[in-house]
């Protein structure tokens, strides 16, 4: 038989025996034999004890609470069994007796258990006080009802009267505590009903005993059995947990009992009340005063916590911008002025994590970054988060030097560049750090200088940079340039130059790479390394890429219409590849200009695959499904691994970076890498393009090793579309010709594209 079946049987048995006992004591029914009544009575207690003990043994939640109640119930059952045994032997119990000691032992166990329901064993003082106030206040009210009204103030003398009053007073203490618990969100209706039934039974017992009318059995005993049965049911009823409530709600119960106690004391000045009532009311008021002082301290603590929360970042727990500003102001205006250094940190590629894995993963990464930063900073340093992926570190000390700040920045970079494990995925990031020393004597100025240095580091591709006085001018120029880029990113101020890609097997130019230039109205022609980082940082890449694609596809379609079926390659950014509609935009441009998809190649850098971005892979798969070729650009310059080639199975082309091509004739290692990469790619059915070919010997060596395509100044410099068009039109189809792309002194013979 399972535990659930045993529980059901015990419940049913307790209820059935209680009903049998109650029916047997009705006036119309002949009273049962003493031994039979005793058996029924003790059987109910046994069932209840087993229910409560089973709850404490088999269920982990609130195990200690129900263990205490089980101990109290067992004490109560022991007192009843002792009384029954004495009565069967024909004896008569004195009052008070050992049975009263066992019965009264129930109350301290039950009271501790009820307090435990408020919040476990480590109870806040306010909960203990609330329970005590509710219990004593309820006892005072009970004393008025029973002692002063029903008994007419007759208190009697000796232990007998005290013991007789201890039962209902103990019950009212439990009931008042339970009612206070209900205001705090702790609810177990069976437990509350059981204690309330005990209050009724004990009240009846005291009143009837005082009038000489109490007899064993009858309604009073039925009430006792009912109360214990309800306790057994309470053991297996789910108790609602304590809810977090406002201070005013938590004080509602104690306030009402305080009002009641105060009224009783006021009445006592005009009407003679029993000493018990006055003492209970006085104790209640003393506890209420203590509770008020405790509530005031709670309010002060809440105020301090909210003050601290206003200066803390909720995600990481670090100081926020406001707290850091106040700290720096305090250091600047303090009596002992010491050198101050501020390190402003901005995580690189963090947006890719948010876009690829969602904000929960981004939040987890920020917490991991916080943990690492806290491990390497000094206890005297203040670490803060400004929002997003920006952190700040403030250092101060008499011996602080710029060299020390630079050493810490280098250590931070080394620590944060180690891979992070987020949701089972290994993520690699970098950090750009701006360093500023306190020279202006103003916290805002220090922030501004660190921000300028940080952006300078970011434009340099990462690392740490210290602020210099002339950086302000550079920062203003950068802001002006950013504003101009925002204006020109989608206009014809962005022009394309095309660099030829030579087929080394046939000597035919198969296509061109489109390279963007910015014709700035006052600064002249600007190259991509100047404005592309700014476009990425300011969200301008989608507009710029769409502009470049539109021009390149339109120009390539024109060449096809003129009888030159060349291809065109366009670079895409990480931002573009995270945009799910990117393939759709390309398809619309191809349809608009009537260019076949096979004539377009989208070049991506290997760094775009560092975060294992599912969205990027989906976009690339859709591009290749359309017929657009994908090329891995700058291969070998960052974190090249064979896993990229395995994962990016849609790549049709790989471009070896110029850093390997430039010295392949003089460096054996470079030559080995280039040659082995060519063999590997051919085994994977991937076309290899060599970038940066600057001389004929390098070109010959690449041709000898089986490299497929090459581009570089030796083959042709990037030139504007009209020059490329004139060159294509000047050479007869299929004959040899010369190219002059931007440099009349550079001549290379090769064939025009053939079908």
Same fold, 321-469 and 482-751: no
Q: Quote the pLDDT of residue 497.
A: 95
Domain boundaries, the chain: 1-104+189-204+215-238, 124-187+244-309, 321-469, 482-751
pLDDT exceeds 50 at position 162:
yes
pLDDT digits (tens, 9 = 90+) for 266-304: 555 555 666 766 776 777 777 777 777 777 777 666 656
pLDDT digits (tens, 9 = 90+) for 734-751: 333 333 333 333 334 333
pLDDT exceeds 60 at position 458:
yes
Q: How far apart are CA 755 and CA 751, in angstroms?
A: 12
pLDDT exceeds 70 at position 256:
no
Q: How far apart are CA 223 and CA 471, in angstroms?
A: 88
Higher-confidence residue of 426 and 626: namely: 626
Q: How far apart are CA 383 and CA 394, in angstroms?
A: 7
Q: Are 535 and 489 in contact (CB under 8 A)?
A: yes
pLDDT exceeds 50 at position 752:
no
Residue 155 pLDDT level (bands cut at 50, 70, 90): very low
Q: Quote the pLDDT of residue 34.
A: 55
The structural architecture, per CATH, of the domain 321-469 is: 2-Layer Sandwich (3.30)
Other Cβ atoms closer than 10 A to 1: 7
Provide the CATH topology of domain 482-751.
TIM Barrel (3.20.20)
Q: Quote the pLDDT of residue 311.
A: 72
3's CB contacts (< 8 A; 6+ apart) are 54, 58
Average pLDDT over residues 486-496: 92
CA angle, residues 619, 624, 627, in degrees to nearest 5: 135
Residue 135 pLDDT level (bands cut at 50, 70, 90): low
Measure Cα distances from 724 to 97, 365, 507, 509 in Å: 116, 48, 17, 12
Specify the range with the lowest mean pLDDT, choosing from 187-201, 527-541, 629-643, 648-662. Answer: 629-643
Q: Quote the pLDDT of residue 596.
A: 94
Q: How far apart are CA 498 and CA 552, in angstroms?
A: 9
| 646 CB-contact burial (10 Å; exposed 0-12 / middle 13-18 / buried 19+) | exposed
| 722 CB-contact burial (10 Å; exposed 0-12 / middle 13-18 / buried 19+) | exposed
Q: Quote the pLDDT of residue 369.
A: 92
Global pTM value: 0.49
Specify the range with the lowest mean pLDDT, choosing from 4-18, 213-227, 309-323, 507-521. Answer: 4-18
Strand partners, 751: 508, 736
Other Cβ atoms closer than 10 A to 544: 24
């Amino acid at each position: 038989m399972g535990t659930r079946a045993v529980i059901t049987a015990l419940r049913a048995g307790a209820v059935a025996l209680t009903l049998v006992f109650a029916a047997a004591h009705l006036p119309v029914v002949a009273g049962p034999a003493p031994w039979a009544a005793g058996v029924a009575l003790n059987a109910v207690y046994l069932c209840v004890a087993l229910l409560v003990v089973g709850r404490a043994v088999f269920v982990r939640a609130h195990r200690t609470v129900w263990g205490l109640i089980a101990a109290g119930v067992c004490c109560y059952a022991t007192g009843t069994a002792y009384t029954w045994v004495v009565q069967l032997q024909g004896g008569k119990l004195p009052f008070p007796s050992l049975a009263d000691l066992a019965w009264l032992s129930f109350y301290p166990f039950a009271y501790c258990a009820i307090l435990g329901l408020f919040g476990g064993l480590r109870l806040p003082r306010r909960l203990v006080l609330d329970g005590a106030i509710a219990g004593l206040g309820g006892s005072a009210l009970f004393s008025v009802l029973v002692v002063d009204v029903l008994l007419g103030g007759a208190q009697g003398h000796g232990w007998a009267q005290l013991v007789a009053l201890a039962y209902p007073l103990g019950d009212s203490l439990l009931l008042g505590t339970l009612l206070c618990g209900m205001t705090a969100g702790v609810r177990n209706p069976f437990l509350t009903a059981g204690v309330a039934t005990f209050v009724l039974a004990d009240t009846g017992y005291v009143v009837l005993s005082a009038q000489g009318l109490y007899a064993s059995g009858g309604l009073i005993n039925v009430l006792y059995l009912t109360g214990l049965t309800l306790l057994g049911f309470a053991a297996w009823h789910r108790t609602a947990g304590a809810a977090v409530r406002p201070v005013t709600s938590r004080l509602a119960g104690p306030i009402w009992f305080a009002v009641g106690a105060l009224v009783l004391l006021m009445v006592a000045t005009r009407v003679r009340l029993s000493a018990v009532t006055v003492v209970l009311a006085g104790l209640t008021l003393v506890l209420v005063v203590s509770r008020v002082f405790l509530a005031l301290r709670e309010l002060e603590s809440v105020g301090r916590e909210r003050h601290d929360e206003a200066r803390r970042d909720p995600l990481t727990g670090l100081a926020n911008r406001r707290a850091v500003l106040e700290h720096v102001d305090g250091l600047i205006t303090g009596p002992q002025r010491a050198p101050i250094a501020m390190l402003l940190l901005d995580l690189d590629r963090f947006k890719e994590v948010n876009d690829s894995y969602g904000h929960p993963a981004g939040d987890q990464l920020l917490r991991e970054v916080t943990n690492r930063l806290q491990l390497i900073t000094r206890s005297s340093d203040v670490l803060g988060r400004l929002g997003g992926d920006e952190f700040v570190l403030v250092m101060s000390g008499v011996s602080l030097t710029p060299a020390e700040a630079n050493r810490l920045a280098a250590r931070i970079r080394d620590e944060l560049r180690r891979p992070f494990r987020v949701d089972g995925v290994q993520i690699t990031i970098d950090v750009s750090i701006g360093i500023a020393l306190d020279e202006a004597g103003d916290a805002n100025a220090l922030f501004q200088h660190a921000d300028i240095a940080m952006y300078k580091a970011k434009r340099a591709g990462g690392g740490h940079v210290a602020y210099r006085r002339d950086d302000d001018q550079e920062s203003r120029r950068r802001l002006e340039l950013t504003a101009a880029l925002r204006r020109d990113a989608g206009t014809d101020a962005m022009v394309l130059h095309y660099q030829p890609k030579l087929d080394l097997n046939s000597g035919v130019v198969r296509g061109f790479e489109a390279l963007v230039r910015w014709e700035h109205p006052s600064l002249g022609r600007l190259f991509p390394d100047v404005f592309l980082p700014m476009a990425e940082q300011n969200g301008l890449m989608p507009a710029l890429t769409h502009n470049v694609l539109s021009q390149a596809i339109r120009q390539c379609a024109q060449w096809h219409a003129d009888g030159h079926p060349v291809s065109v390659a366009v670079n895409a950014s990480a931002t573009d590849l995270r945009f799910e509609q990117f393939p759709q935009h390309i398809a619309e441009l191809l349809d608009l200009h009537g260019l076949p998809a096979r004539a377009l190649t989208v070049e991506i850098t290997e760094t775009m695959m560092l975060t294992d971005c599912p969205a990027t892979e989906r976009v690339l798969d859709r591009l290749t499904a359309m017929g657009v070729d994908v090329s891995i650009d700058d291969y070998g310059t960052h974190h090249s691994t064979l896993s990229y080639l395995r994962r990016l199975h849609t790549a049709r082309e790989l471009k070896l970076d110029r850093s390997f091509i430039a010295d392949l004739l003089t460096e054996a290692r470079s030559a080995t890498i280039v040659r082995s990469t060519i063999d590997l790619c051919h085994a994977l059915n991937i076309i290899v393009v060599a970038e940066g070919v600057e001389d004929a010997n390098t070109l010959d060596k690449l041709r000898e090793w089986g490299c497929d395509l090459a581009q570089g100044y030796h083959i042709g410099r990037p030139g504007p579309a009209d020059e490329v068009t004139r060159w294509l039109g000047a050479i007869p189809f299929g004959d040899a010709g010369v190219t002059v792309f931007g440099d009349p002194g550079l001549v290379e013979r090769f064939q025009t594209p053939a079908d």
